[in-house]
Amino acid sequence: MTDITLKVEGMSCGHCKAAVEKALNNLTGVSKAEVNLAAKEVAISFDGTQTSVDVIKEAIEDAGYDVIS
């Protein structure tokens, strides 16, 4: 398993948190995604043989949020 934390702009409420977590948890290979609204971050655990950071970033952006960095 690989653990990463990404900065995400545009999240401001529980709905935003749920949308990002749902988008990531639906990806094959992601075992856990947890948003910290106060820090504007999402912590993700995933299997690098089944998905990639680029796919994860794309899922966040497809949900309507911006990945910073």
What fold characterizes domain 2-68?
Answer: Alpha-Beta Plaits (3.30.70)
Is the pLDDT score of 69 beyond 80? no
Residue 8 CB neighbours (<10 A): 23
Sign of CA dihedral 27, 4, 18, 60: negative
Structure pTM?
Answer: 0.92
Count, residues in the chain: 69
Residues 6+ apart with CB under 8 A from 45: 1, 2, 3, 30, 31, 32, 33
Residue 20 CB neighbours (<10 A): 25
Kindly report, residue by residue over 32-52, the tens digit of the pLDDT.
999 999 999 999 999 999 999
Domain parsing of the chain, residue ranges = 2-68
